[in-house]
Chain A
Amino acid sequence: MESRYQGIAASPGITIGTAYLVGFPEFQIRKYRITEGGINKELDRWQAAVDATRHEIENIKRRVAQEVGFKEAEIFNAYLHVLQDPLLVQATMEQIRAQRCNAEYVLQEIASGLGRQFTEAKDEYLRERASDINDVVARLLRNLTGQAKRLLTGAEHDIIMIAKDLAPAQTASMRRERVVGFATDIGGKTSHAAIMARSLEIPAVVGLKNITDMVETGDTLIVDGSAGLVIVNADTRILTQYRQAQQRNLQASRKLRKLKGITAVSRDGYRLNVAANIEFPEDVRKARKYGAEGVGLFRTEFLYMNRRDLPSEDEQFEAYCQVARQSLPYSTIIRTMDLGGDKFLSRLGTSAETNPFLGLRAIRLCLTYIELFKTQLRAILRASQFGKIKIMFPLISDVEELRQAKAVLNEVRQELSRRRIAFDKHMETGLMIELPSAALTADVLAREADFFSIGTNDLIQYTMAVDRINEKVAYLYNPLHPAILRLIKKTIEAGHNERIWVGICGEMAADPQLTALLFGMGLDEFSTEPSFVPQIKKVIREIHLARSRELAEEVLACATTKEIENCLQNQIQDKEGCDEKAVK
């Protein structure tokens, strides 16, 4: 029987494979009694599992030390201590003797008792780290039951890892050549599993809530990482469809890779810059691989997340330098921190907000906690002499806020000059246009900025007053609403009137159906997830700016989304018609 589950699209692409359940939930632990004479044999079985687990962890530790670094490998020393821990190891042996029960049952009992104590810890960080211990226990259980071994040491390929969540040790130890996808119960786009999947370029869906209950090891799965969909035990017809789609994707991406060196020049000779949005310094490699012309948006949030302390100036400097250097000869646009106050509750002493998206976030947070902001600005300025760095501020609502942000930037500049620390004195300073209030006053803002970058995701959310995560109102989240297109148009015109360039870095930029429209509206730069770059360049090479302008005019005159969609549809058909004529 086929069943479908919708989650969060974490890493794009389609994959088909065999499910493999990782971690605790897979273990259906049976309790059974051991005879007096069998106890020594049970203790031997336990010892063998401990030895096998130690061997596994030592191997992972060695591999991480070689591939990642010694510092990262240190955590596995702690794992090894867990394996020698009297509270776990001796206690299990004692209980095997006392209860005359099988090792896995006893172990699970002891581990869940310890687990309860950990989750009572007041400190959130310690509580989280303690959960790493579960990973060791899961390995022991796996070695005792032998379940995983059968699957992973066999000749099976095309494994899809299914887990509540995937811990770093699990992704580090998996056999990469055999794993073709992930699907997890919890997590979002920035959780470890999602990031790992994107960097390995394998499809993944996260936040499926209860996929671990619905799937068993050995089930055939389709993971559609672009749609955020998992299909379990699909029939032959659906499987064939997805296999074909997978093949098409593969061929298309091969073709597109070949295009990496091309530039996006329209048929009538107009050039568009296509850059990449990145989240982590290591994403630059991927951006280059897909032929991105620089980094149009370097999100800096990763520096602040999944940790308890704040990132130091030097740590930030290193990250910015790395990206700026590797992007040369192209430029790197660094967006200052775009997080809400709820992420910093403990560190800054802010209080929980009832409406975080309308609260103290992004530039507002930075202007409240000036030192936090200055640290980042110092790091960016110091890095600016090692590449072509531009800086932009998120969530600016009006020109006074822009002035405040620029004043802080100037203070930091003066401070660095006084300390004789070098930086690029001509670094461009721009802002994101992502609030309706900014788009409507873009003419004023343009006089005091070097560039605009339109962030369509937030612009749509704030213009339509819709939370896109809320499925009941998600239908209102529509990039083709006339209000959105008018705000974009107004922003571009205002920028060009003041002779500054205007880019777009939201998800709209990655949609090839909208490329002609946005190009026709006058944008100077598109910035998208790296893998979309070749596609956008290809579209630009097939269109005329003059015709795209006509299309934009037509679309901007439309009264409703429906009319706009029809307009775009006609354009695609026209184009196909033209191509056919050309062939004849």
Chain B
Amino acid sequence: MVEQEVTIENKLGLHLRAAAVFIETANKFPCQVFLRKAGQEKINAKSIMGIMTLGAACGSRVTVLTDGENEIEALEKLAALIRNRFGEKE
């Protein structure tokens, strides 16, 4: 299992559309993917409902965790996606 902490930088936070984009990327990898917000339990990040329960607004710190086949590549891709604001303008 590998992990990396990133900050949610897009203005709208981890909202429904961003969550969908995140899952689409996560589903490309066979490994398990989780997200964790400080002080909370980790959630299955291949579940849109799970991501929405995080309530990660702009400025939140979240940890991406990947476990299994291709975990390192998956972690890099997913962390980069968050840093790139899920492809949103702001």
* A, B assembled together: yes
- Give the interface of A toward B (CB within 8 A): 74-75, 77-78, 81-82, 85-88, 114, 117-118, 120-123, 125-127, 129-130, 132-133, 308-309
Can you list 18 residue pairs at the A/B interface with Cβ under 8 Å? A74-B20, A78-B16, A78-B48, A81-B48, A86-B47, A88-B49, A118-B52, A118-B53, A123-B13, A125-B12, A125-B57, A126-B14, A126-B56, A126-B57, A130-B16, A132-B16, A133-B49, A309-B12
Chain A residues with CB under 8 Å of B19's CB are 78, 81
| B13: A residues at CB distance < 8 A | 123, 125-126
Decide if A133 touches B52 in the complex (CB within 8 Å).
Answer: yes
Shortest distance between the CB of A136 and any CB in chain B (Å): 10
Contact A74 B17 (CB under 8 A): yes
Closest beta carbon of chain B to A92's beta carbon, Å:
12
Give chain B residues whose Cβ lies under 8 Å from the Cβ of A86: 44, 46-47
Contact present for A85 and B49 (CB under 8 Å): yes
A308 to B48, CA, bound (A): 21
A contact face: mostly helix, strand, loop, or mixed: helix
Q: Which residues of A contact B73 (CB under 8 A)?
A: none
User: Complex Cα distance A78/B47, Å?
Assistant: 11
Q: With both chains docked as a complex, state the minimum distance between the C-beta of A111 and any C-beta of chain B, in angstroms.
A: 9
A75 with B48: CB separation less than 8 A: no
Which residue of B16, B46, B90 contacts A75 across the interface (Cβ within 8 Å)? B16
In the bound complex, CA of A127 to CA of B52 (Å): 9
> Shortest beta-carbon distance, A94 to chain B, in Å?
14
Flag if A308 contacts B50 (CB, 8 Å): no
Q: Which residue in A117, A129, A308 is a CB contact (below 8 Å) of B53?
A: A117
Which residues of the other chain, A, contact B15 by a CB distance below 8 angstroms?
125-126, 129
The A-B contact count (CB < 8 A) is 71
Residues of B within 8 A of A133 (CB): 16, 49, 52
Answer yes or no: B11 CB below 8 A from chain A CBs.
Answer: yes
B55 within 8 Å of A (CB atoms):
yes
Check if A114 sits within 8 Å of B49, measured CB to CB: yes
A78 to B49 CA separation, bound complex (whole angstroms):
10
Contacts of A78 in B (CB 8 A): 16-17, 19-20, 48
A283 to chain B, nearest CB (A): 26
B57→A123 contact, CB < 8 A = yes
Across the interface, do A309 and B90 meet the contact criterion of CB distance under 8 Å? yes
When distances are taken between beta carbons in the complex, the residues of chain B under 8 Å from A122 are: 55, 57
Docked pose: A126 CA to B54 CA in angstroms: 10
- A308–B44 Cα distance when bound, in Å, is 27
- With A81-B23, A125-B57 in contact, do A87 and B16 touch (Cβ < 8 Å)? no
Contacting A at CB under 8 A, from B10-43, are 11-17, 19-20, 23-24
